[in-house]
A and B are shown apart, each in its own frame.
Chain A
Amino acid sequence: DIQMTQSPASLSASLGETVSIECLASEDIYNNLAWYQQKPGKSPQLLIYYASNLQDGVPSRFSGSGSGTQYSLKINSLESEDAATYFCLQDSEYPWTFGGGTKLELK
């Protein structure tokens, strides 16, 4: 199975700041990488698919990049509503696997 190592596990940032979250795959996943946001008590919401494609309705301050085994999610100009846990997902091969999650706290 492909292992997804996500970092950092937690992150604290201020409103207006820019943050990045990383995911490292155990092998090349050919850009088959998605990012999800999950708020407490809610279902995950798709942000980015195929490494850099913004899902409809997602604010443009979210962006994704990467290739091969290394991928990142960048959030520009943090807003209070961005406080959540973020997960990466590799959909290159079954079984699909998620990263461990990054909890983003707003100061």
Chain B
Amino acid sequence: EVQLVESGGGLVQPGRSLKLSCVVSGFNFSYYGMYWIRQAPGKGLEWVAYISSGCSYIYYAETVKGRFTISRDNAKNTLYLQMTSLRSEDTALYYCARQGDGSGVMDAWGQGASVTVSS
């Protein structure tokens, strides 16, 4: 069974940092591109970042570029999102998701990690 489990969320003050993790199982993590997508409370979905299987390709949304860093450890089956200089508008549920090899889009998602940026 494909599983993605995010962790590391929480309440953080503006300007501080937080690192999210996503541990996967049930598929060969090293073969798949991965994403982070977020959803502010009661709002729609926002694509945040992408990393290819071998880390050759990395892309960010303009809203997080220069503040967030996506990375992965294929030996640990883990995807990361390092978030710095956090703002109130970064408050959201953060999902990690797998890039489907047939579809090319997100075909499996975690349950999300909640991040609240507030003083």
Contacts and interface: CB of A to CB of B under 8 A. Distances in A.
B44 A96 contact: no
Which range contains the number of B residues in contact with the other chain?
20 to 34
B47 A46 contact: no
A30 B58 CA distance: 22
Contacts of A101: 44-45
Interface in A72-107: 87, 89, 91, 94-101
Given A94-B50, A95-B62, A46 B44 contact: no
A53 interface: yes
A89 B46 contact: no
Contacts of B105: 34, 46, 49, 89, 91
Contact of A43 (B46, B100, B111): B111
Contacts of B50: 94, 96
Interface string B90-119: 000001000010111111011110000000
A69 interface: no
Closest 10 CB pairs of A and B: A49-B103, A43-B109, A96-B47, A94-B59, A98-B45, A34-B105, A101-B44, A95-B61, A46-B107, A91-B105
